[in-house]
Amino acid sequence: ELYRGASIRKMSRSDFIAFNEIREVLEGLAAALAAERIDERGRTALIDLEQDWARGNRGWTYPKYNEKFHNLIIEASGNNELPVYIEQAKLLFFRLQFHRIERTPAQEKRSQREHDRIVKAILKGDAKAAERAMRDHVHKSVQAILREPEEFFSR
């Protein structure tokens, strides 16, 4: 039994904040580069994803849609090294089980509004606005998790 006795390490609140400061910068960079470098295929993919989600076409859960959204932006950044670093950050995030936190419909709506801001900035080619919008989005997601009960964190 390969994983017998394996445990999931909890992170302290301060470690979680530090880790997400890095994630905020990386995802902000991805959005800024996407605004500068996105090609026609990337634009179409981003617009299609947003329209599909808005219409409820694909039967995706919000987390699945959210993952596709962030991955499209990372891909559109044109930086082949970024996915490696962001993937490391995500693996840690999932290992810590924060993905199991239930999102309320209000949180999903807020997140969707933030996605709209990010997309508009990228499609306009406004790197500064795209970076600001993405960093704000990651920051607000972190704030929501920090409101969760102590059981999610180590002392």
The pLDDT assigned to 99 comes to 56
Band of residue 62 on the pLDDT scale cut at 50, 70, 90: confident
Q: Which residues pair with 11 in a beta bridge?
A: 153
Q: For 73-90, what is each residue's pLDDT tens digit?
A: 999 999 999 998 888 877
Report the C-alpha gap between 63 and 80 in whole angstroms: 24
